[in-house]
Structure 1
Amino acid sequence: MTTTAAAAAATAPGKMPRQIPYIIGNEACERFSFYGMRNILVTFLASSALLAYLPAAERDAMAKEVFHSFVIGVYFFPLLGGWLSDRFFGKYNTILWFSLIYCAGHACLAIFENHLTGFYFGLFLIALGSGGIKPLVVSFVGDQFDQTNKDKAKVVFDAFYWSINFGSFFASLLMPLFLRSFGPAVAFGIPGALMFVATLIFWLGRGKYVRVPPTRGRDPDTFGNVARTALTAAAPGEGRPGWWIALAGAVAAAAILAGWAAQALMHLAGAGAAWWPQAFDFVKSACVALLVLIVCGGIGVALQLERARGRHPDAAVNSARAVLRILIVFGLITPFWSLFDQKASTWVLQGEAMRVPHELWWWPSWLVKEAAQMQALNPLLVMLIIPFNNLVLYPVLRRMGFAVTALQRMGWGIAFSALAWVVAGMIQLHIDGGTPTSLAWQALPYVLLTFGEVLVSATALEFAYSQATLAMKGVIMALWYLSVTFGNLWVLLTNVAVRNEAVIQRIAATGLSENAFLMFFFAGFALVCAIAFALYARVYPMQDNYRTA
């Protein structure tokens, strides 16, 4: 590992690194830009001329489809960013160049507010830019610490997450008002300006950072190389079950993509493939193919991993085993993201069917005028809950003899998110009953969901970094963000399923509306996974992989 002289001087043993404020400032502005456009996206699309080609009754569903497809892209492209950083450019250079792409995407949204292709291209650039830097900024924070000052890392990771929500709070509160008062060009342009400021702040700290150099493909003991050896190595007297499982996954993934491609080509020719679901577009097909590849490949590598010993150091093989264990943790967290990200789609649309309680003496009518502004509760509560947990809740639990581990916090977080959706479902039942329902009631599920978020997401930032070895930190962070992609995939697949006539009839037989049924369904989905997560946490072996001084 190498560092610049300035960075080495800035990171005195046991001290807080002086370069941290540049990264925190960059993150606060970048998060304002991201959430500023993200939190008005569904509202804008549902009412804009961009979706005027659809019947009015279908625009809300399409706005949700576009939103969750966009989020899938945001959390898919970390794979690309992590690979480019680890293989070629390093974290600093990759973050800087993807940030410029990010700025260009914001410009497209502001310019092409009435042009469908241009607007969607802007969303693609933002997904590429935001996703490209996403796995790197967090691990770049971790790179500024070593064994001598790693005790400061938890404080900084919490501050890092706090800064995310500081930017998100003002974006969520103000951008719906700007969209309403000044139109989409201004509402999307302001986040673009903040992204430029974020890039500038990051660049200003260039001489102070600790920069861990990229492997440039010279490391023979990366996870990919160890996995390849494990799958291809023969063992005397033993078969190759792992190889065949991984191969079956690759064939299945290729078949899924081929099915989509055949459907797309036939559609262009004016026909359709009856054997391929029309709603199963490229995003869904590619994500399902990737999921099959990861699951089958992971099982295959796990079955034959010991065959890599002797050809790779024991430390590398053990690190690969750790990656496989972490992937199980990430997989069990995906339902949380299904619930969390729908606050910017399903909950916003639910809020628009509710009544803004301007008559209440405590309601800030001068500021909160739109249902989408309720999203500001989430970052505001995060900024309150993080210090409450660190200063009050966790110390009290420790004095009571409960040392709550990172995995236990995440498991409870999934459970609280499930409870939030039970409450949201009950609110939906009230709306479906035809009684005017105050928007203020949405505060309760927001409190529960945000408490769950702090327990899951803020904890996972530190967990993911500490569990990955130095050579695999970028990849692990990319895979952590990929869990959000699969969380949003569950939302899209569920929406496809409820378009089936048989499913619609079954929902109707329950006496619930489609919205209420889906809310209770997602709550149950998360609760089941919270139980599975708690069981796995009992046997997970924790690691400590901070770099040495």
Structure 2
Amino acid sequence: MSTTPASASPANGRMPRQIGYIIGNEACERFSFYGMRNILVPFLISSVLLAYLPAGSERDAAAKDIFHMFVIGVYFFPLLGGWLADRYFGKYHTILWFSLIYCAGHACLALFENNATGFYTGLFLIALGSGGIKPLVVSFCGDQFDQSNKSKAKVVFDAFYWIINFGSFFASLLAPLFLRHYGPAVAFGIPGVLMFIATVIFWLGRREYVNVPPSGRDPHAFLEVVKSALRAQAPGQGRPGLLVAIVGMVSAVAMLLLWALSATVGVDFWPTDFNFVITACLALGVIIALGGWGASLQLERARGAHPDAAVDGVRAVLRILIVFALVTPFWSLFDQKASTWIIQGREMVIPHEAGWWPSWLIQDAAQMQALNPLLVMLLIPFNNIVLYPLLRRMGFVVTALRRMGWGIAISGVSWIAAGILQLWIDSGSEVSLAWQSLPYLLLTFGEVLVSATALEFAYSQAPHAMKGVIMAFWYLTSTFGSLWVLLTNAGVRNEAVTAYIASTGLSENAFLMFFFAAFAFVAALAFGLYARRYPMQDNYRIA
């Protein structure tokens, strides 16, 4: 593999021919991922893996917990993949090796449908493999362009976005049918075959790729600047930032030790329902929050040891982290479309008797998830061509932060709609599955406002040297979004909480839907208040 093959830098602005391998890989990988992800909860509820629990709310809750722990892993492991690629192996080798791990995980799901150890090992391997390649494929694609053909890059990135939603749409539509008609071995095996094909397609382009070598250790990277700031002493001043950061580290270690003692000794040093995943995520959150706060208190002390641009970049990242933290409640709502909303849909009636309902295709509640990528492909052009220009003509300034704040609030409205449907179901009425289209439409509109806008916002606010760090933290917003779900599920197992829910007259499902709606509204309010005083930057590259 040449570092700069002639075919990789085509003259006259031609499209690099190796892009086809990357796009083909992405198409198969996305179908593979969403195919298994979107049938995970229905499979677990009906599988022997959870047969030790009585059918009903307990088994549903356990399936939700497993799903959201899987999501946590998927969005945590980009940290590992990005670090290995940047420091040691480069993007190509890291993507290839993690893809092989990914394939092994799919094989475990197909082979061990009735074996808990084998199946959960497969989930771990898929989380590791999928997460490991997640931050790399798009940037590897960007590496294939140079000054002579950079105008073609936008076409390719648009194709990437389209392929992701295209794969998600068909996977969401077809995978539940495979599970229903052919069983879990086939339903999980088909995504595994597609992931193997994706890996082969990627490998076939090995002689064509431009391979940017790993950068190695950067003495002015984000963590290096933070460490310098915390260690530095100023004449006549203490080190309050270091103290705050140490409290964060000690608290994180204490959480993990208390969990370990509870798990091994059997004494309740730590909440019983806080398993290792919850505890580790809480520990990580404390380190990020108190470490970031401590660094901000002493950041100016890093000047001189590091260039001003690096110090200012860290300051920008710390501000963006507050924005990202306020986005995490959105992901707690969004990712439950593949868990809580599927469970709700299973209580609804599929309107096969209606002439307008495509009974030949839509036969399972899990297939409603296909609405999300379909609506995304429709809403983004609608917003850019119709909605945003109309709002500007009406005198509204459509800033990135305002879009994100409204997106969080609209996601809350979607859960109000879902909660009303749940009340309807709880009353004993037969509720058509078609009604779920409304909360899906609202949630997807919120997603378009939040997710796509957040990437644009983060790119514009972070200096070039810090953009990789920002992407790593962005993926963690989904990790902490699922953490909120796990914490809530743990909370409703408490007898006092259960008694309170019963006193409201609502079912547990309905109560939680309105709770998450309120959670989103509070987050949107806090987001709006912070956005009003956020100092906007412009870090786009000068042409």
TM-score range, shorter chain: over 0.9
For residues 500-511 of structure 1, what are the structure 2 equivalents within 5 Å? Answer: 500-511=494-505
What is aligned with 1:125? 125
What is aligned with 2:487? 493
Question: What amino acid is aligned across from residue 381 of structure 1 in structure 2?
Answer: L
Contact 2:8-2:17 at 8 Å conserved across structures: no
Query: Alpha carbons of 1:193 and 1:467: their partners in 2 closer, same or farther (altered >3 Å)?
Result: farther
1:151 CA displacement: 7.4
SS at match of 1:276: coil
What is aligned with 1:544? 539
CA distance in 1, matches of 2:50, 2:112: 14
CA distance in 2, matches of 1:300, 1:471: 22
What is aligned with 2:184? 184
Query: Alpha carbons of 1:457 and 1:3: their partners in 2 closer, same or farther (altered >3 Å)?
Result: farther
Contact 1:4-1:207 at 8 Å conserved across structures: no
Which deviates more from structure 2 when the two are superposed, residues 431-440 or residues 318-327? 318-327
1:440 CA displacement: 0.6
1:203 CA displacement: 3.0
Question: What amino acid is aligned across from residue 50 of structure 2 in structure 1?
Answer: L
What is aligned with 1:248? 247
TM-score if structure 2 supplies the norm length? 0.94
Which deviates more from structure 2 when the two are superposed, residues 353-362 or residues 55-64? 55-64
What is aligned with 1:260? 259
CA distance in 2, matches of 1:377, 1:419: 17
Query: Alpha carbons of 1:175 and 1:486: their partners in 2 closer, same or farther (altered >3 Å)?
Result: same
Per-residue CA distance 1:101-148 (angstroms, 9 max, x = gap): 111100110011111100000000000001111122233345456789
SS at match of 1:56: coil
1:316 CA displacement: 0.8
1:407 CA displacement: 2.6
Correspondent of 1:306 among 294, 300, 303 = 300
Which deviates more from structure 2 when the two are superposed, residues 530-539 or residues 421-430? 530-539
For residues 207-226 of structure 1, what are the structure 2 equivalents within 5 Å? Answer: 207-217=207-217, 219-226=218-225
Per-residue CA distance 1:51-89 (angstroms, 9 max, x = gap): 112222321111111101111111111111111112112
SS at match of 2:537: coil
1:421 CA displacement: 0.5
Contact 2:105-2:124 at 8 Å conserved across structures: yes
Give ranges in structure 1 of 5+ residues lacking alignment.
Answer: 267-271
Percentage of pairs with the same residue: 73
For residues 190-209 of structure 1, what are the structure 2 equivalents within 5 Å? Answer: 190-209=190-209
CA distance in 1, matches of 2:215, 2:61: 44
Which deviates more from structure 2 when the two are superposed, residues 383-392 or residues 484-493? 383-392
Question: What amino acid is aligned across from residue 380 of structure 1 in structure 2?
Answer: L
TM-score if structure 1 supplies the norm length? 0.93
> Does 1:360 find its partner at 2:360?
no
CA distance in 2, matches of 1:29, 1:486: 28
What is aligned with 1:297? 291
Q: What's the C-alpha RMSD, in Å, of the aligned pairs?
A: 2.3
Give ranges in structure 2 of 5+ residues lacking alignment.
Answer: none
Contact 1:82-1:475 at 8 Å conserved across structures: no
1:506 CA displacement: 1.4
What is aligned with 1:111? 111
> Does 1:437 find its partner at 2:435?
no
Contact 1:103-1:192 at 8 Å conserved across structures: yes
> Does 1:448 find its partner at 2:442?
yes
CA distance in 1, matches of 2:475, 2:260: 27
CA distance in 2, matches of 1:464, 1:3: 30
What is aligned with 1:269? none
Per-residue CA distance 1:442-469 (angstroms, 9 max, x = gap): 0000001111111222233444445444
1:7 CA displacement: 6.7
Query: Alpha carbons of 1:100 and 1:472: their partners in 2 closer, same or farther (altered >3 Å)?
Result: farther
Question: What amino acid is aligned across from residue 238 of structure 1 in structure 2?
Answer: Q
Query: Alpha carbons of 1:143 and 1:390: their partners in 2 closer, same or farther (altered >3 Å)?
Result: farther
What is aligned with 2:526? 532
Question: What amino acid is aligned across from residue 221 of structure 1 in structure 2?
Answer: H
Per-residue CA distance 1:405-443 (angstroms, 9 max, x = gap): 333322222121111111001101111111111111000
SS at match of 1:440: helix
> Aligned pairs, how many?
540
Per-residue CA distance 1:278-297 (angstroms, 9 max, x = gap): 21110000000000011000
Query: Alpha carbons of 1:199 and 1:540: their partners in 2 closer, same or farther (altered >3 Å)?
Result: farther
Contact 2:464-2:539 at 8 Å conserved across structures: no
Query: Alpha carbons of 1:452 and 1:16: their partners in 2 closer, same or farther (altered >3 Å)?
Result: farther
SS at match of 2:268: coil
Query: Alpha carbons of 1:19 and 1:321: their partners in 2 closer, same or farther (altered >3 Å)?
Result: farther
Contact 2:248-2:291 at 8 Å conserved across structures: yes
CA distance in 1, matches of 2:173, 2:480: 28
Query: Alpha carbons of 1:157 and 1:325: their partners in 2 closer, same or farther (altered >3 Å)?
Result: farther
1:19 CA displacement: 4.9
Question: What amino acid is aligned across from residue 500 of structure 1 in structure 2?
Answer: N
CA distance in 2, matches of 1:259, 1:97: 35
1:27 CA displacement: 2.1
Structure with higher RCO (Cα < 8 A, 6+ apart): 1
CA distance in 1, matches of 2:396, 2:149: 26
What is aligned with 1:29? 28
Contact 1:166-1:379 at 8 Å conserved across structures: yes
Per-residue CA distance 1:373-411 (angstroms, 9 max, x = gap): 111111111122122223333344445554523333222
For residues 311-322 of structure 1, what are the structure 2 equivalents within 5 Å? Answer: 311-322=305-316
Query: Alpha carbons of 1:83 and 1:62: their partners in 2 closer, same or farther (altered >3 Å)?
Result: same
